[in-house]
Each structure stands twice: as C-alpha cells, then as structure tokens.
Amino acid sequence: MSDNEFPVTKFFGTDRRGFLRAATGAMAAAVAVPAFAQSSVKPNEQDDVQLSQIHASTEEPEKIPGPMEAEDQRTGYAIVGLGRLALGQILPAMGKSKYSKPVALVSGDREKAMKIAAQYGIKQSAIYNYSTYDQIAQNPEVKVIYIVLPNSMHAEFVLRGAKAGKHILCEKPMATSVKECERMIAACNAANVKLMIAYRSQYEPYDMAMVKMIREGKFGKLKQFISTNSQNQGDPTQWRLKKSLAGGGCMPDVGVYCLNAARFLSDEEPYEVFATTVQPKDDPRFAEVEASCQVIAKFPSGFTAVFNSAYDAHKSQFLRVEGTEAYAELNPAFAYHGIKMKFTKFDQGMEIAHEPALEEKDQFAAEMDHFSLCVQKDLKPHTPGEEGLQDQRITDAIYESARSGKPVKVSAPSTATRGPNPAEI
C-alpha cells in the first residue's frame, strides 16, 4: 500500500473543506485567537477605556467596546468547577477555539476565580459560587454551561443549569447512575436546551479517521477490539477514590474511554458483558472503589470488545481494532497529545504497515466548537446525553457482572445515541 492510499486530505478532504466553508460563511466574524489570549491586559468592566468625544453632540456618540464585546459570534461559556481539567485543558483550549469563549466562572473559591477571570478577560460580575449559580439565568452572555465537577455533582448542576435556560456541556462520566442520566436528559428536553457529554476522543483526528476507514470497509468485517486505559493514583484522599463523589473507581473514570471507543468505532451496542474488578484489601487507596476492572463485551454481529482499566498501574493507553482484512492501533490512545496510528493489512502477498500523519488538534477546542456550532445552528450534538446514558447502563451491567460472577445482559438504546458526524457540521 502506498502512502497515497491514506493521505491526510483523504481522511479529512471534503469534510475539512466543508468545515472551512462554514467558518468563512456564517461565522466570518469569528476570530481564531481571542484578544484575551494575545494580550496581557486584564480586562474587566472597571478597566474599560473611554476616549473623549470629538464629534458634535448632534452626532451619535462613539463607544470603545471592551475586549469581550468585540463583535464576534463566539458562543459564551460558563465554566463550572475550576479544578485540574478546567485550568489545565479547557480554559487554555478556549484560546484555540473558533466558536467558543469563556464569559463566566462558577467556583467555591472566589479568590481563585478572580485570578482566573483576570487572566481570561472575564468580568468579575460574571463570577458565581455554587449557591449563586442559578443567577446565571440573568446573564445573557452565557449561552452554554460546561460542568467540570466531580462525577456525582454533574446531575445537580445540569438540572439547575437547564432550569436557568442554558445549553449544557457535561464532562464524562455523565453521572453516577442511570436514573440521574435519565433525569438530566429529561430536564434538558423540558427546558428545550441541548445536552452534550464531553467525549473528547470522538472529536480527535485519529479516532475520526479510524471511524471513517472502518465505515469505508478498509478493515473488512470488524472482529475484535482490545484496549487498556490505566494510571497510577497517588493521593488517597482525592474525590476519585470516594464512591459517593466518583460513583466507582477506574471503570467510570478511565475505563469509560475504552467502552465508548468500542461503541463508536464499531457503531454497534453490546448486548452482554462479563467483568471482574480487583479491590486490594491491603491498599488504603482502594477502601471504597476498584483498583482495576477487566471487561468482555459481546456485540450482535459477533464483534467482541476486551478492555482493562486500572488506577494502580503505570499510565498506559492503547487500543486495537481487528477486522478480517486489516487491523489498526492507536498507541497512545485517549491521550491529550501525541496520539499515533498504525494501520496494518495484507496486500498483494505482503503485510504492509502504514502510519498516517495527521495534524494534531486540541480535542477540547474541537469538542467545544462542535457544541457551539450545534447551539448556533440548532443541531443535535454528536455526543448527546443519550450517549452518556448508554455508557452508564453498560457500566452498571459491568459492576453487576463483577459482583455476581456471571454475564449480564444490557438493554439496547431505544434510539440512536449519536448525532451527526462532527466533520459534517
């Protein structure tokens, strides 16, 4: 197979051009790099500069817009929870996004929020705490609320956000039970706002390329998915190791990447899972949650997924998809940066491996821009609440299987769980 067989433009050619057309059309006024990302000026309402008026009083007065009032069509986000993900990935990604900008913060720590607000050009009047959060309803700049809190808090803050009339982007895992997920979907439907779960891998170029290659038949018939997502936890007091805040251990936090990838790559839903968990008695980190989880999932076509996750093993992130005519690996998979693909097939009597080189994109900017476009164009997001609900159903079945030692059936979703392909919006 020659390099030309899978050129970068072939993966993204039409879709990327379509995307750029959209960018230069209705969104022409959007700016790629927001002013706050380029400047050290700390804009807030008190700091607005006004120049003296030089025209006669019969003329319309001139107004110098504040930095965040620049005429652009970026969708305004409120970030709820200023922890590692919000500060390390989401807010920095705003500087790389075309259609999304931060306009409000929700935090229990006002001093921290004021520092971040100054850094990102967010008005001090747009800083809320967990009690005043509902007042966000009165802030017209906020169109989307992005929930970046511990897992068990997602449901409450999605429900309150929907009641405030805002669209919601919620971190994975969606919640800690099927009931919560169903309530979140119902509340967003009742308030007529959109709900998207932040499955960033589904907006990542190599994952998207693999989906495209699978749908084009380049693997033949899909047979197996093999994956792992592990990391070694330190601090035993952190919320990730408390069942009431996390909902579980490694499975809902990192194992969910493997589970979700098996589903979106195959475009099938598992009907049965068989799983084990390990909770070492002599390790104080795992008094409440599992340290590792091993899963076999069966799909109707005969495709199977085998995946492990761990909180007590060195960081390791990998996936492989095997078909009748080819297989491909992402190694690392699920990482923020540096994802690599190797595609191997038997061609004209030879096994040929190919490593496509795709341009790395900030996955958080890509997912936020997708959601902003869905809000602006009134479209269903690619990873709506239903996608998170199905992962939660399967996670519950995984835990039940680990408890009972038996395979557990999973009910299929009643409708498709994914909206249009992000590359086509």
Instruction: Catalogue the active-site residues.
Output: 172, 257
Tokens of 143: 């169109």
Angstrom CA distances, 395 to 53, 171, 243, 277, 295, stand at: 63, 16, 14, 12, 10
Shortest Å, Cβ 382 to ligand NAD = 15
Could you tell me how many residues make up the chain? 425
* Integer Cα distance of 118 and 120 in angstroms: 6
Shortest Å, Cβ 14 to ligand NAD = 28
Shortest Å, Cβ 254 to ligand NAD = 9
Indicate the residue among 43 and 81 with the shorter CB distance to ligand NAD: 81
Shortest Å, Cβ 369 to ligand NAD = 15
* β-pairing verdict for 195-197 and 341-347: unpaired
Indicate the residue among 80 and 297 with the shorter CB distance to ligand NAD: 80
Among residues 395, 381, 398, 391, the alpha carbon closest in space to that of 413 is found at: 391
Give residue number: closest CB to ligand NAD.
Answer: 83
The arrangement of strands across the sheet holding 350-354 comes to 350-354, 341-347, 326-330, 312-323, 222-232, 304-310, 292-298, 272-278, 408-409
Indicate the residue among 130 and 271 with the shorter CB distance to ligand NAD: 130
**Amino acid, single-letter form, for residue 48:** D
Indicate the residue among 82 and 196 with the shorter CB distance to ligand NAD: 82
Shortest Å, Cβ 134 to ligand NAD = 16
Indicate the residue among 84 and 406 with the shorter CB distance to ligand NAD: 84
**Ramachandran class of 59: left when φ > 0, alpha when ψ lies in -120 to 50, beta otherwise:** beta
Is-contact 323 219, C-beta < 8 A?
yes
Which residues contact ligand NAD (rule: CB under 6 A)?
A: 81-86, 108, 148-151, 171-172, 198, 200, 239, 245, 253
